[in-house]
Structure 1
Amino acid sequence: MIKYLSGYLTSTFLKKRIKDIEFFMRYPIEVQNQLINQLILYAKDTEFGKKYGFRDIKKYQQFSERIPICKYSDLESVIKRIRRGEKNILWPGKVKWFAKSSGTTSTKSKYIPVTNVSMSECHYKAGKDMLSIYIHNHPKTEIFFGKAVRLGGSHELYKNYNTFYGDLSSILIKNTPFWAEKICIPRKKTALMSEWETKLENIVIETGLKDVRILFGVCSWLLIFLKRLLKKFDKKKINEIWPNIEVIFHGGVSLKPYILQYQNLFEKSIHYYDVYSASEGFFAIQDQRKVEDLLLLLNHGIFYEFIPVEDIDKINPKIIPIDKVELKKNYALVVSTNSGLWRYIIGDTIKFSSISPYRISISGRTTHYINSFGEELIIENAEKALNATCKKTDSIIHEYTAGPIYIGEKNSGSHEWIIEFKKHPKNLYYFRDILDNELKSVNSDYEIKRYKNIVLGPPVIHVAKNGLFYNWLKKNKKLGGQNKIPRLSNDRKYLDSILEIEKKL
């Protein structure tokens, strides 16, 4: 009885968030303008605010003219000071927590400040909205009558300075509010263990006999966890262990390469809801049942600006606020946040599928693409092409990465794909030709470069040994948390590193 009463109260509490969501959907420009004014007001007496005259900024135009856009390299020395305990630098007060990036864009880790206000007014607020949207779309849901499994990373003390760093997920788990902690498993001690494989085994033990109805996490790591769960309990389907499982909230990487594997794990269909969350903030949530586009969150402490992708490498790129964006155009995302990031380029690219309300899709990374021959292949192209290829060849991909084979004296250029299959295609050459045609259909630049093999030859498919990508992550100490496989690269750094691991398997 207590379980059902608690579930009812939680559901009732979260339903109230819908009105706030509807408000920023109705008045997006006004909400964003009010938000940037609030951020400037809060930070006016910080070192950064004094440097750029925040007290005098009254309009967006002044803000955009005074404050330069920046990347992590521009802030690195400042963030080192904040990590060492200095106060009132980018944001009022002392910052205790820093989200350590997964490092897919470089081997060097980034430490993104996470303030108390960003946890409460961005990450946890967005988490409540995510659940409230689900309740709104599924009014008969009973997810709060059971438990939610969370997968996360770990955190460490930055010695001598009393600040902490780790995966964003570990920071949020460590500081989880009481309303969420009541339904989440495993316990914090287990969830925050640093050694991934030991933690995974403990999570399986702690959750396997519970009434689990919700899963949270990066879909690639959730998949490994679910397979380990089935093996532990000697079952074929997850529903045999958790008969009331209802929804997976996932983010970090695209679900598309994994969806067939997920469908094979469940006896009956479940719901999948995508979220767009990063170390810098919680940006968007899937708000429609069968439409994958994500609703941009406009009143969660993040002010958005956008750079057309073709301008990203210019000295003075064109930067626009949300009321100037166009549909179906690729933009690099720029954010100013309640963690003290100001006009910060996070490295993701997005497209708007709707401007009333503002809905987006993630198209890739500013650094994760292949453009060695002018083909401008982005992750969005790769995901669509691979998904269609798998359907036509009755195959399932477990993991993949791709990069260039450079033009030589006796060969044209091409793309090399390292693919670990869950279900192999019957004919690899047929798979290659279908993938090639699908890439042509989604990317006209690729199609032009493939003309008569003059610039680009057909793709080269390297079939990976089972467990190759897992072992590569393990060697690079990137198991678990928000770590992920780099999908596309404009050089051979990842390809050669992964192939070197395969030689030893």
Structure 2
Amino acid sequence: MGLKAKLSKPFAALAVYQINKWKKRSVEVQQQVMATLVDEARYTAFGKDHNFDEIRTYEDFKKNVPVRDYEDLRPYIERVVKGEADILWKGKPAYLAKTSGTTSGVKYIPISKESMPEHIKAARSALLTYIHETGKTDFVNGKMIFLQGSPVLSEKHGVATGRLSGIVAHHIPQYLQKNRLPSYETNCIEDWEEKVDAIVEETFSEDMTLISGIPPWVQMYFDRLSAKAGGKKIKDIFKNFSLFVYGGVNYEPYRQRMEEVIGRKIDSIETYPASEGFIAYQDSQNERGLLLLTNAGMFYEFIPSEEYFNENRRRLSLAEVELDTNYALILNTNAGLWGYSIGDTIRFVSKNPYRIVVTGRIKHYISAFGEHVIGEEVESALLEAAAESHLEITEFTVAPQVTPSAGELPYHEWFIEFASQPDDLVAFSKQVDEAMQKKNIYYFDLIKGNILQPLVIRCLIKGAFQQYMKSEGKLGGQNKVPRLSNDRKIAEGLAPFIL
């Protein structure tokens, strides 16, 4: 055991001790966070506009701070981007994280000197809780790779600007720098396919023990490694690879194929980072869900998903949430986002401590006929059917077909890229449809009432989703294909790749 591995165990024990102190008091901690945030931003433009000096309770907060998405908050953010100080948070932000929005174009999310350390602390804590629970430390002494965006930052009125992963690259602790790959030069390559090829060359002969990234892009990296090694499994290329850290999408649809190319099961840690803040991470290999970070400079609010678009929607604090209810997540942060609807939906699977699962996007659903199908339902239905039929799914997305051929009923159209095609597509489609009917009562009623016909699966050529994302200029990095769309834009983009 190397020195880093030896030191990591007592360090992990101390970190877990500190985490346990706040996670058992999460409701109280959240009240303190709200009060601190309001006090710190009292004299900002936003604070003055929203009567922060009069806010004493959560009820006061709700009366004065409306729920907003990026477009609603844009007038304040534009002032921040132009270089004005004391707008959403005291002073100027340390960084502006550049993200792509589906309706807002390029978005700039402020990161403050107070919020930046929370991103690093959370990522470190995810690894330390894993070490403390499992006792596994060997990965610490090997090489680690983080598939991420370019660390090259531009500047807007004196504020460094770039992708979150590129910003975080500048804050990797010194003790990890010698272990970290790829090199700075390789990380700066903008073209994703060229970058992956360079990473393959750099890492092929290294002792890789930890690999981190969004599953579909890690899969692309693994496929190219395997091709370079003449079809070898990843376990035979990286004999000490023992931990996969991921975020951004649900891993389950990718797990079977990932483990196939790796050649064995491997421990994994799920994380929930966003430009707006590091929200949660998997703190246990034995418990379901991600630990909600209630002591990380963010005050959370929750709106029941089915009420989100209602005029009189309820807006709840952590103390008021229930298990097994889908909520839209609202953030208030120490970087100056207030009543900010991040667009994600979550569900609590535990309240002692508060653990969540990410269930989808509030605007990524299908409800062309009132069925309100969400991402969690389609993922679960497909995985159940695929497991029963021993099929591997590479990628998929679903869209409604509301104007089918004459004489046909409308249907949900599933675009699936299989690792190998099913022997009986009709039977498999029936399995998926039956699973969907069990998971969504509204969908069941529409099928039984002959409003919809059973779903239709379109098999796509290998590499279809990568080619589609490349055509959209979204290959690699932090970009993901939505599981669900309530329109036909993605469906039309995938049509040329149907087998």
Give TM class, smaller chain: over 0.9
Q: 1: CA distance between counterparts of 2:239 and 2:153?
A: 40
1:234 Cα deviation (Å)? Answer: 2.6
Conserved? CA contact 2:8–2:128, under 8 Å: no
Matched, 1:416 2:408: no
Query: Which 10-residue stretch deviates more, 236-245 or 162-171?
Result: 162-171
Kindly provide the CA deviation profile for residues 239-289 of structure 1, in whole angstroms up to 9, marking residues without a partner as x. 112111111111101111111111112333210121111221111111221
Structure 1 residue corresponding to 2:148, chosen from 143, 149, 152: 152
Q: Residues 202-240 of structure 1, C-alpha deviation per residue, up to 9 Å, x if partnerless? A: 111222222211111111111111111122233521111
Alignment match, 2:83? 85
Q: Is the 8 A contact 2:391 2:418 kept in 1?
A: yes
The CA distance in 1 between the partners of 2:356 and 2:447, in whole Å, is 30
Aligned to 1:48: 46
| 2:349 is the counterpart of 1:353 | yes
| Aligned match for 1:440, one of 419, 437, 440 | 437
Pairing 1:184-263 to 2, within 5 Å after superposition: 184-263=180-259
One-letter amino acid of the counterpart of residue 443, structure 1 = N
Aligned counterparts, 1:62-73, within 5 A: 62-73=60-71
Task: Answer yes or no: is the 8 Å Cα contact 1:414–1:456 preserved in 2.
Answer: yes
Q: Does 1:376 align with 2:352?
A: no
- CA RMSD in angstroms comes to 1.9
Any residues of structure 2 matched to 1:8-23 within 5 Å, and which? 8-23=6-21
Structure 1 segments (4+ residues) deviating >4 Å = 155-160
State the distance in 1 between where 2:393 and 2:307 align: 34
Match of 1:110 in 2: 107
Indicate the residue corresponding to 1:303 in structure 2: 299
1:294 corresponds to = 290
Q: Which amino acid aligns with 2:180?
A: C
Match of 1:168 in 2: 164
In 2 relative to 1, CA 274–438 (structure 1 residues): closer, same or farther, beyond 3 Å?
same
Identity, % of aligned positions: 38
Is the CA contact (8 Å cut-off) linking 2:37 and 2:334 kept in structure 1?
Answer: yes
Which residue is equivalent to 1:488? Answer: 484
CA contact 1:419–1:463 (8 Å) conserved in 2 = yes
Letter in 1 for 2:105: K
Q: What residue number does 2:96 align with?
A: 98
Could you report, residue by residue, the CA deviation over 1:76-98 in whole angstroms, capped at 9, with x for unpaired residues? 23212212221111011112422
Once the two structures are superposed, residues 185-205 of structure 1 have per-residue CA deviations (whole angstroms, 9 ceiling, x without a partner) of 112332232111111111112
Query: What residue number does 1:32 align with?
Result: 30
Contact 2:154 2:162 (C-alpha < 8 Å) held by counterparts? no
CA distance in 2, matches of 1:38, 1:285: 24
How many angstroms apart in 2 are the aligned matches of 1:176 and 1:63? 36
Gaps of 5+ in 2: none
SS in 2 for 1:264: helix
Equivalences, count? 498
C-alpha distance in 2 between matches for 1:140 and 1:68: 46
Q: Using the alignment, how far apart are the partners of 2:105 and 2:234 within structure 1?
A: 38
- 1:407, CA displacement in angstroms? 4.8
Contact 1:85 1:95 in 2 (8 A): no
Gap change, CA 1:107 and 1:221, over 3 Å in 2: farther
Letter in structure 2 aligned against 1:27: R
SS at the partner of 1:17?
Answer: helix
Name the CA shift for 1:155/1:268 in 2 (closer, same or farther; >3 Å).
closer
Counterpart-to-counterpart distance in 2, 1:191 and 1:319: 42
Could you tell me how far 1:59 is from its partner in structure 2?
2.1
Distance 1:319 1:147 in 2: 45
Query: TM-score, normalising length from structure 2?
Result: 0.95
Distance 1:107 1:492 in 2: 19
Long gaps (5+) in structure 1: none
SS in 2 for 1:465: coil
**For residues 69 and 28 of structure 2, what CA distance do their matches in structure 1 show?**
27
CA contact 2:145–2:182 (8 Å) conserved in 1: yes
Could you tell me which of 133, 139, 150 is aligned with 1:137? 133
Deviation (angstroms), 1:53: 2.6
CA distance in 1: counterparts of 2:337 and 2:89, whole angstroms: 8
Tell me how far 1:181 sits from its aligned partner: 2.8
**Aligned-pair CA distance for 1:19:** 1.4
